[in-house]
Amino acid sequence: MAFVVNPHGAVHSVPDDWTEALLTQGFRPATAEEIAAWYAMQGLEVPGAAGDDGGADQPGAGADRRPRRG
């Protein structure tokens, strides 16, 4: 599952294989904050919120990593 934002700013969860086509149509990848807000709007717990690194595709800075660009 991937998260994308449409040209009007709405976040959508879509199958991974749809992502490339949507990006060519003006969608953009959702930020970690937008994904967390999407889960909250659904009444769901955000994966990784308890520190289990459920957002592995959004790595944070660590001893073995360079800081993320902001």
Q: Give pLDDT, residue 49.
A: 76
Q: Give ∠ CA 43-51-60 in degrees, rounded to 5.
A: 105
In a domain, 10, yes or no: yes
By the 10 Å C-beta count (0-12 exposed, 13-18 middle, 19+ buried), 10 is classed as exposed
User: 15 lies in which domain range?
Assistant: 2-41
52, 60 contact by CB (below 8 A): no
35: its two tokens: 């994904």
Mean pLDDT across the stretch 17-28? 98
Provide the token pair at 39. 């889960």
Q: Per the domain annotation, does 31 fall within a domain?
A: yes
pLDDT above 90: residue 35: yes
The residue whose two tokens read 């289990």 is 52
Give domain status of residue 37, yes or no: yes
Flag whether 19 is in a domain.
yes
Number of domains in the chain: 1
